[in-house]
């Protein structure tokens, strides 16, 4: 789907535009709660008013898994 989404009848249809913050086709959210907190992650910031984003999961876990896989491949290549 390209372009803005169509309005859905019976829904508010307000939009929040977030940006690619590091030029990597991602918009990064960073949890600001204390380490080991209970419940979902949360970021709060100001953009035409307060924005509160909550989510489950941590993409850093996927990245560290990928880095470990890269390290194993590098070690395998060195053995060849």
Distance CA 76, CA 34 (A): 39
Phi, psi dihedrals of residue 73, rounded to the nearest 5°: -60, -40
State which residues form the domain around 75.
1-80
Q: How confident is the model at residue 10 (pLDDT cuts 50, 70, 90)?
A: very high
Number of domains in the chain: 1
Mean pLDDT (whole number) for 7-33: 84
**Residue scoring higher pLDDT (50 or 29):** 50
C-alpha atoms less than 13 angstroms from C-alpha of 72 in its C-beta half-sphere: 6
- Point out which residues pair with 43 in neighbouring strands: 53
Q: How confident is the model at residue 74 (pLDDT cuts 50, 70, 90)?
A: very low
Mean pLDDT (whole number) for 4-13: 86
């Amino acid at each position: 789907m390209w372009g803005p989404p169509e309005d859905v009848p019976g829904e508010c249809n307000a939009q929040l535009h977030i940006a690619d913050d590091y030029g990597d086709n991602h918009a990064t959210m960073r949890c600001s709660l204390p380490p080991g907190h209970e419940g979902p992650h949360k970021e709060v910031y100001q953009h035409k008013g307060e924005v509160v984003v909550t989510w489950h999961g941590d993409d850093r876990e996927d990245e560290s898994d990928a880095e470990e896989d890269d390290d194993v491949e590098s070690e395998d290549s060195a053995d060849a």
